[in-house]
């Protein structure tokens, strides 16, 4: 190729991209430190894994993995339509809800348009926006001493909306902070948006938020034609490894997303497991109950260590160590506990800890205490 570098051929927005940093895998920690008996509380996964019905459906689906999956995801879309009381045409399936977020950026953003999101938002929002060359408008988060510290400030977000704004991303509850928006405030914000703005409400942690005054944005779909609600089976349903999520929106938006959606973007095993998971409310109830107890345990244990823990309506807590978190994170790793440093979110003094089983939660508290010398 002479003097031409591959880097020179890459689209300019992609050149500047920094990849998403996932939680450290268990196998990687074993290779690096020779540690065993590891628990991973870094990626907001369900410690119970899939429910019994989903496990049975996955086993049965093995017989057909030599065939392409149903590209329309008909059975799953019908099940979701029944769950949400919307027409099938209002549903878009994704390879995880992450896929939905990327599809939205590809569908509605160009180099001449803008997207708005909050300062401490899910890392995929800025990645998706930058990848298509759009302009990011980042709203400052609420102050650290607010009742929802570091959470979304709807007034600050509204102030950034211009005639060029096409997307607004809001995670409710928010990752990595765990904070949330109440229904009345969020609905008022959405009603005030111009009809040229698509509002994306990312409800990945919805099932965990039912004991808070956190909104269910899917209830507003008929009123708001520019609303998209994203959900996932990765969290409360325990199917993170299968990668299946979906969007709810009025058909004029869903039709656009389904034009872009790649064929067979959800595997046959994921489709079968997701349908079965929707029919297993007992598993979700057990998961939510375990999580609520875990939040209480983590919060009380971490506060006893003199640490500040943010309010959370999700399945994790964000804890402020009051100093750079790197050393504590490493100290926990050497004890076989994987938490999540969030310096890449602009929070270098914080760790995010997913709730686990009762035993895992106690072990995480003890590991952090030892790492901090307390």
pLDDT tens track for 87-116: 999 999 999 999 999 999 999 999 999 999
Distances in Å between the Cα of 239 and the Cα atoms of 44, 213, 235, 236 are 12, 26, 7, 8
- Res 15 pLDDT > 90: no
List, for residues 133-167, the tens digit of each pLDDT value: 999 999 999 999 999 999 999 999 999 999 999 99
pLDDT score recorded for residue 109? 97
Residue 4: predicted pLDDT: 78
Hey, which of 8-12, 17-21, 337-341 has the most confident mean pLDDT? 337-341
Class of the CATH-defined domain 52-280: alpha beta
* Nearest one of 213, 241, 212 to 46, comparing CA atoms: 241
Query: Is 184 buried (19+), middle (13-18) or exposed (0-12) by CB count in 10 A?
Result: exposed
- pLDDT tens-digit map of 29-62: 999 889 999 999 999 999 999 999 999 999 999 9
Rounded CA-CA distance 121/221 in Å is 23
pLDDT-derived band at 9, boundaries 50, 70, 90: confident
Q: 6-49+282-372: what CATH class?
A: alpha beta
Least confident range of 39-48, 75-84, 205-214: 205-214
| Structural domain spans, the chain | 6-49+282-372, 52-280
Residue 262 has what pLDDT? 92
The better pLDDT of the pair 350, 17 is held by 350
The pLDDT confidence band at residue 6, using thresholds 50, 70 and 90, is confident
Percent of the chain with pLDDT over 70: 99
Q: Which residues contact 94 (CB under 8 A, 6 or more apart)?
A: 100, 103, 230, 244, 245, 246, 247, 261, 265, 266
pLDDT at residue 202 tops 60: yes
Q: Which of 234, 228, 266, 278 is nearest to 248 (CA)?
A: 228
pLDDT of residue 2 exceeding 70, the answer is: no
Give the per-residue pLDDT at 115: 98
- Report in angstroms the alpha-carbon separations of 232 from 100, 202, 238: 10, 9, 10
Q: What percent of the chain has pLDDT over 90?
A: 89
210-267 per-position pLDDT tens digit: 888 898 999 999 999 999 999 999 999 999 999 999 999 999 999 999 999 999 999 9
Distance separating alpha carbons of residues 372 and 11, to the nearest angstrom: 44
Q: Average pLDDT of the chain?
A: 95
* pLDDT, tens only, 273-315: 999 999 999 999 999 999 999 999 999 999 999 999 999 999 9
What is the pTM (predicted TM-score) of this model?
Answer: 0.94
Contacts of 66 by beta carbon, 8 Å cutoff, 6+ apart: none
Supply the pLDDT for residue 69: 96
């Amino acid at each position: 190729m002479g003097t031409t570098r591959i880097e020179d051929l890459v689209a300019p927005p992609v050149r500047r991209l920094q990849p998403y940093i996932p939680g450290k895998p268990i196998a990687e920690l074993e290779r690096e430190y020779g540690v065993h008996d590891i628990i991973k509380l870094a990626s907001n996964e369900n410690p119970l894994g899939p429910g019994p019905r989903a496990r049975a459906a996955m086993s049965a689906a093995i017989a057909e993995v030599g065939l392409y999956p149903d590209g329309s995801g008909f059975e799953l879309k019908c099940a979701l339509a029944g769950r949400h009381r919307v027409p099938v045409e209002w549903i878009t399936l994704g390879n995880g809800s992450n896929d939905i977020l990327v599809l939205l950026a590809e569908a509605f953003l160009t180099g001449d348009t803008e997207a708005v999101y909050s300062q401490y938002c899910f890392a995929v929002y800025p990645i998706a926006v930058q990848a298509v060359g759009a302009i990011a408008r980042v709203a400052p988060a609420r102050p650290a001493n607010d009742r929802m510290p570091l959470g979304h400030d709807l007034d600050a977000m509204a102030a950034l909306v211009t005639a060029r704004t096409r997307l607004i991303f809001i995670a409710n509850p928010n990752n990595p902070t765990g904070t949330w928006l109440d229904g009345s405030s969020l609905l008022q914000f959405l009603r005030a948006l111009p009809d040229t703005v698509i509002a994306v409400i990312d409800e990945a942690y919805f099932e965990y938020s039912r004991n808070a005054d956190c909104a269910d944005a899917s209830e507003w779909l008929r009123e708001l034609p520019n609303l998209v609600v994203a959900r996932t089976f990765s969290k409360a349903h325990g199917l993170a490894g299968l990668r299946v999520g979906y969007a709810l929106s009025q058909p004029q938006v869903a039709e656009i997303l389904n034009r872009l959606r790649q064929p067979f973007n959800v595997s046959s095993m994921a489709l079968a497991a997701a349908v079965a998971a929707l029919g297993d409310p007992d598993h979700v109830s057990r998961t939510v109950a375990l999580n609520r107890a875990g939040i209480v345990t983590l919060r009380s244990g971490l506060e006893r260590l003199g640490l500040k823990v943010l309010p959370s309506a999700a399945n994790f807590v964000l804890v402020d160590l009051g100093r750079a978190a790197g050393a504590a994170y490493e100290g926990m790793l050497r004890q076989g506990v994987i938490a999540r440093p969030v310096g890449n979110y602009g929070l270098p003094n914080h760790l995010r800890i997913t709730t686990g089983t009762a035993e895992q939660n106690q072990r995480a508290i003890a590991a952090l205490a030892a790492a901090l010398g307390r």
